[in-house]
Amino acid sequence: GFVFPMQVPYLCSKRDPGRLTLFSDRTIQAPCLLIMGTKDYFLKFPGVEYYVNSEMLKSAVPNIEIKFFPEGSHFIQEQFPEEVNKLLLGFLNQHL
């Protein structure tokens, strides 16, 4: 069931080539927090780790804070609930 949702933008772009570029000139201005584990298997998908660590992400989301947990995997909130809650509350208090 995971493969189809990943293909939807690709399939739509064949029907309407401008569809994927529709949002390419937009940036997310809201403050964002990305919390990930360095052992997250999602980072192993081609290009994901590069994108997360590159300036491309920061140009699309200029107000992003990225926090990595060296021993964290995909379910970081379950592995380190107290630390994640502390980060979330600090982030929310900073941006209220």
Strands (E), 1-96: 32-37, 64-69
Confidence label for 89 from pLDDT (cuts 50, 70 and 90): very high
Alpha carbon distances (Å) from 33 to 5, 6, 28, 73, 84: 24, 23, 12, 17, 11
pLDDT tens column, 38-53: 999 999 888 889 999 9
**What pLDDT, on the 0 to 100 scale, is given for residue 20?**
46
* pLDDT above 60 (res 84): yes
**What pLDDT, on the 0 to 100 scale, is given for residue 14?**
52
**What pLDDT, on the 0 to 100 scale, is given for residue 8?**
55
Global confidence as pTM: 0.71
